[in-house]
Homo-oligomer: A and B are copies of this chain.
C-alpha cells in the first residue's frame, strides 16, 4: 500500500460523496506565528496550498477561513492557469514519449480537471463553505461548465496522438445526458468511455470507486498510460497508471 494511500486510510474513513471530507480540521490550529500580522495571510495561505498539493494536509472539509481572498486571487489569476498548464504539459510530454498502442487509455477526472467548476466555487467562497450536494447538483444540471482550458488543449494533443480517452467521474449515472452535452459544448467531442457512478455502486469512497473502475479497464485490456486528476483519490491505489498527474485544486478535498 502506498504511503499516500496509507495516509488516506489513517485519515479515517468517512463515507464520501463528491467533496465531502473528514470531521476534523488540521489547520489553522495553533497557527501562532512569528509573522502574526494580517499582511502575512497570503504567505500562510500559499503554504497551506502547497502542503495540500503535496498531501501533507488532507481530509479538510473547507479551506481555512483566512484564505478565502488568497484562494480567490490564486484561482482567478494567472498562477492557477500556469500551474494547470505545467501539469498538463508534463502529461503531454510523457504521452508523446511512448509508442501509442491500440488499447492505450488516458483517464481523466471530470469536475475540476476537464470541466472547470470555478463558476460554482466562486459563488461559494472558493471552498470555505461546506460542500452542499443539492446546490452542486444544480450547477451540474445546468450543463454549462466551461472547459479548463489547459486540460482541453492537452486532451486535443492526446486525441491526436491516438490515445483513447476515458472520463471517470464520481457524478451519478443520472447525470449522463447533461454530462455528455456539457462535455461536447465545452469542446470534448470524442471519448472511449464515460464512466459515471451507478446507483448500485457501493464503494465507500472516491478512492475505492476509482480504483475499482481502473481495475475494470485493465481487465478489459486497456493499458492505463496516465491518469490526470485534481484529487489524490483520482490517482492513488492499484491498479495505477504508468504515470499520474495531479492538477492543482486548493478549493476542496475528496476522499
Q: Please, could you name 6 A-B residue pairs with CB atoms under 8 Å apart, sorted by A? A: A2-B236, A33-B85, A50-B248, A51-B83, A51-B86, A56-B246
Encode contact with B along A147-189: 1 for CB under 8 Å, 0 otherwise. 0000000000000000000000000000000000000000000
Please, how many angstroms separate the alpha-carbon atoms of A5 and B89 in the complex?
21
Give the docked Cα–Cα distance between A250 and B1 (Å): 27
Q: Determine which of B10, B46, B79, B243 lies in contact with A10 in the assembled complex, contact meaning CB atoms within 8 Å.
A: B243
Check A244 against B7 for contact (C-beta < 8 Å): yes
The reply to whether A87 and B43 contact each other, CB–CB distance below 8 Å, is: no
- Of B3, B5, B29, the contact of A235 (CB 8 Å cutoff): B3
Q: Which of B43, B83, B89, B246 contacts A79 (CB under 8 A)?
A: B43
CB distance from A242 to the nearest CB of B (A): 6
Does A86 contact B47, Cβ atoms closer than 8 Å? yes
Among A72-124, those with CB < 8 Å from B are 78-79, 82-83, 85-87, 89-90, 93
Residue positions of A touching B, CB distance < 8 A: 1-7, 10, 26-27, 29-31, 33, 35, 40, 43-44, 46-48, 50-51, 53-57, 78-79, 82-83, 85-87, 89-90, 93, 235-237, 240-246, 248
- With the chains together, A2 CA to B33 CA distance in Å? 35
Q: Is the CB of B87 within 8 A of A51?
A: yes
A54 touches B85 (CB 8 A): no
Q: In the complex, what residue of chain B is closest to A246 when comparing beta carbons?
A: B54
A6 to B235, CA, bound (A): 12
Q: Are B242 and A56 in contact (CB under 8 A)?
A: no
- Contact between chains at A241 and B29 (CB < 8 Å): no
A236 touches B3 (CB 8 A): yes
Q: Which residues of B contact A57 (CB under 8 A)?
A: 86, 90
**Contact present for A50 and B53 (CB under 8 Å):** yes
Contacts A1-B2, A30-B93 supplied; 15 other A-B pairs, CB < 8 Å: A3-B4, A3-B235, A3-B240, A3-B244, A7-B244, A26-B90, A26-B93, A31-B89, A46-B82, A50-B53, A53-B54, A56-B90, A56-B246, A57-B86, A57-B90
